[in-house]
Structure 1
């Protein structure tokens, strides 16, 4: 799984459908951090939800997780409400409500979850690291925009097969030209990256094709991450770094597109 928001989207969707227990959601989140905390993003949200603002209270393994699940359950009660994962980056704010505090926080975190019916007010969740052991979920009252249509799973799966090849070619090209060279074996570094992703499990209810797409997206992301970890001893000109960015940008865009399509298909 690529992010805490993706984990919560899939597992909360499974829980809402009656296919997973609250403890399953907690276990999935604890794979990211041993402690979870919850707070309102502003005083209005705090008043609406009863959550602390600005200070957060730790969530424990018992009643604490129920507070987060209660927020999610209440947000999906509106007709047409559902969970939507967002993975924005500068230059690609797809899925964000324009000009909102949630959008600002989600863009900074490069992830978040929208819960509600398009065209109405709903709830936004953004995870933020407090320290290496604590992940805080900040809750926002926000408008729910009309979602950008996801690509079909077949199209996403094909795109990821192509992206695996293109990412491997890009890594080889960078190694050949001297950018990103070093003493470490790239294959071992990629395996290390993949091992980090594999700690985060999918619900059994997630469709097999969606899981394959998410696994392929993680594979491409691992290759790109290794390729971008240029050692300080490796010289690179500004033009060479710009060429690298131009080479990788469409691959990262394809990864986000595939992850969103798969996550939404798996959380229905």
Structure 2
């Protein structure tokens, strides 16, 4: 799992579809932090959810209650969003949720498109605390990526193929001027992502797409890291940046598309 939002979307959707228990969802969330706080962003969010207008409620179980109350479609109304600067698809324009999700790079939207719903954005408040801020959304937008698992798998493979030659052609050296082998760093990144479990009900193809996206994300993280590694020249740095941007978009699309398709499959199973 690459983010708390992906964990919540995948596990809550599986639970609402009848394929996981509430304890399974809570255990998965606790792998990110032992304490989860839930707070309303403003009076409108408090009114829509029943949360206190001030302060925060404690417990991951409260997240499940909130999601179940808003999503009456058995998991079909849970949507992962992974926005980035220049890519704000599936965010309700001009809302506080959109601004918060963009700043965090992640969020979960709950509700049927075209109807009022809520958005949840996680923020780390310490090594043991994850806060979920809940926002009221006047009208849930259509999902940004909705082409199914085949489209998600094709997109991530195409992006990797198109950028592979550009990335491999850029000399990478350490800050001490010597060439370095990034394979160990990539393996560390992959291991960190693999620490978080997927629901057993996720289709194998969805897991394969998510694993591929994690592999690509690990490579991109290492390739773009400033400390310890750098491109061998200014032109190399520019070339690498140009190659990384569409790959990061493909990673986000693959993750969002795989989760959306998996939840649809679970809902109709």
Alpha-carbon distance, 1:168 to partner: 5.2
8 Å Cα contact 2:167/2:240 also seen in 1:
no
| Runs of 5+ unmatched residues, structure 2 | 265-269
8 Å Cα contact 1:167/1:223 also seen in 2:
no
Using the alignment, how far apart are the partners of 2:172 and 2:25 within structure 1?
45
8 Å Cα contact 1:12/1:267 also seen in 2:
no
Q: Describe how 1:102-113 pairs up with structure 2 within 5 A.
A: 102-113=97-108
1:130 aligned residue (125, 146, 155): 125
| Runs of 5+ unmatched residues, structure 1 | 60-64
8 Å Cα contact 1:171/1:224 also seen in 2:
no
Using the alignment, how far apart are the partners of 2:204 and 2:94 within structure 1?
37
Cα gap change, 1:80/1:153 in structure 2, threshold over 3 Å: closer, same or farther? closer
8 Å Cα contact 1:217/1:255 also seen in 2:
yes
Alpha-carbon distance, 1:70 to partner: 1.1
Using the alignment, how far apart are the partners of 1:213 and 1:233 within structure 2?
28
Cα gap change, 1:233/1:89 in structure 2, threshold over 3 Å: closer, same or farther? closer
8 Å Cα contact 1:86/1:260 also seen in 2:
yes
**SS of residue matched to 1:15:** helix
Using the alignment, how far apart are the partners of 2:108 and 2:261 within structure 1?
15
**SS of residue matched to 1:137:** strand
RMSD: 2.5
Q: Describe how 1:165-180 pairs up with structure 2 within 5 A.
A: 165=161, 169-174=165-170, 176=171, 178=173
**Is 1:262 aligned to residue 255 of structure 2?**
no
Using the alignment, how far apart are the partners of 2:140 and 2:133 within structure 1?
17
1:250 aligned residue (243, 246, 251): 246
CA distances 1:200-224 after superposition (whole Å, capped 9, x unpaired): 1110110110100000000000001
**SS of residue matched to 1:113:** strand
Alpha-carbon distance, 1:150 to partner: 1.9
**Is 1:71 aligned to residue 66 of structure 2?**
yes
8 Å Cα contact 1:79/1:117 also seen in 2:
no
Alpha-carbon distance, 1:234 to partner: 4.9
Show the counterpart of 2:94: 99
Using the alignment, how far apart are the partners of 2:146 and 2:83 within structure 1?
14
Cα gap change, 1:189/1:232 in structure 2, threshold over 3 Å: closer, same or farther? closer
Q: Describe how 1:8-27 pairs up with structure 2 within 5 A.
A: 8-27=8-27
Alpha-carbon distance, 1:148 to partner: 2.9
TM-score of the superposition, structure 1-length normalised? Answer: 0.88
Q: Describe how 1:178-197 pairs up with structure 2 within 5 A.
A: 178=173, 185-197=181-193
